[in-house]
Amino acid sequence: MTIEQSDTRPGGNELGASTVQVRRVGDRQTTAQRLLRSTADRAYHPELDIDWDRPLAPDKGWVMEHRQSLYGTKVWDELTPEQRTELGKHEAVSVLSFGLLAEVGLSMNLMRSILENHVMVDDHCRYALAEVGEETRHSTMFSRLVNKSGVAPYTYPRPFLKALRLVGFLPIGPSSYAGTLLIEEVLDRLQREGAADETVQPHFRQLMKIHVLEEARHITYAREEMVRSMAKHGKAYNAVHRGIFSVMVLSVMPTLINPKVYKSVGISRLRGLIASQASPEYRDRAVFMTEPLLRFCYEAGFIRGAVSSRIMRASRALPDDIIAELKGQKPSTVQE
Ligand SMILES: [Fe+2]
Ligand SMILES: [Fe+2]
Give a yes or no: residue 22 inside a domain: no
In contact, 44 and 141? CB cutoff 8 Å: no
Q: How confident is the model at residue 31 (pLDDT cuts 50, 70, 90)?
A: very high
Give a yes or no: residue 11 inside a domain: no
Q: Which residues are placed with Cβ below 5 angstroms of ligand 1, an ion? A: 135, 138
Residue 204 has a pLDDT of: 98
Residue 16 has a pLDDT of: 45
Q: Average per-residue pLDDT in the chain?
A: 92
Q: Does the pLDDT at position 316 exceed 50?
A: yes
Q: Does the pLDDT at position 266 exceed 90?
A: yes
Residue 287 has a pLDDT of: 97
Give a yes or no: residue 332 inside a domain: no
Q: Does the pLDDT at position 43 exceed 90?
A: no
Point out the ligand nearest to the CA of residue 216.
2
Name the packing angle between helices 123-149 and 202-232 (round to 10°).
150
Residue 165 has a pLDDT of: 86
pLDDT > 70 in the chain, percent: 92
The kind and range of the H/E element at 79 are none
Domain count across the chain: 1
Point out the ligand nearest to the CA of residue 142.
1
State how far the Cα of 143 lies from the Cα of 148, in Å rounded to an integer.
9
* Structural domain boundaries, residue 224: 29-51+64-327
- Interval 103-119: pLDDT, tens: 999 999 999 999 988 89
- What spacing in Å lies between the alpha carbon of 135 and ligand 2's midpoint? 6
- What spacing in Å lies between the alpha carbon of 58 and ligand 1's midpoint? 27
Q: Does the pLDDT at position 96 exceed 60?
A: yes
Give a yes or no: residue 318 inside a domain: yes
Give a yes or no: residue 258 inside a domain: yes
- Interval 182-224: pLDDT, tens: 999 999 999 999 999 999 999 999 999 999 999 999 999 999 9
State how far the Cα of 93 lies from the Cα of 143, in Å rounded to an integer.
9
Residue 3 has a pLDDT of: 58
Q: How confident is the model at residue 328 (pLDDT cuts 50, 70, 90)?
A: confident
- Interval 49-65: pLDDT, tens: 999 999 999 999 999 99
- What spacing in Å lies between the alpha carbon of 184 and ligand 1's midpoint? 7
Is the model more confident about 22 or about 289?
Answer: 289
Q: How confident is the model at residue 11 (pLDDT cuts 50, 70, 90)?
A: very low
- Candidates 171, 186, 170, 165; CA nearest to 255 is 186
Q: How confident is the model at residue 251 (pLDDT cuts 50, 70, 90)?
A: very high
Give a yes or no: residue 42 inside a domain: yes
- What spacing in Å lies between the alpha carbon of 187 and ligand 1's midpoint? 9
- Candidates 41, 76, 68, 317; CA nearest to 194 is 68
Residue 312: C-alpha distances to residues 124, 151, 250 (Å): 32, 34, 6
- Interval 153-184: pLDDT, tens: 999 999 999 988 888 888 899 999 999 999 99
- Helices of type H across the chain: 28-41, 46-49, 74-77, 81-115, 123-149, 158-164, 174-195, 202-232, 235-256, 269-278, 282-299, 306-314, 320-327
Q: Does the pLDDT at position 334 exceed 80?
A: no
In contact, 269 and 299? CB cutoff 8 Å: no
- What spacing in Å lies between the alpha carbon of 117 and ligand 1's midpoint? 23
Point out the ligand nearest to the CA of residue 106.
2
Point out the ligand nearest to the CA of residue 222.
2
Record the pTM. 0.92
Q: Which residues are placed with Cβ below 5 angstroms of ligand 2, an ion? A: 184, 215, 218
Q: How confident is the model at residue 89 (pLDDT cuts 50, 70, 90)?
A: very high
Give a yes or no: residue 247 inside a domain: yes
Q: Read off the CATH number of the domain in which 115 is found.
A: 1.10.620.20
Residue 7 has a pLDDT of: 58
Q: Does the pLDDT at position 288 exceed 50?
A: yes
Give a yes or no: residue 23 inside a domain: no
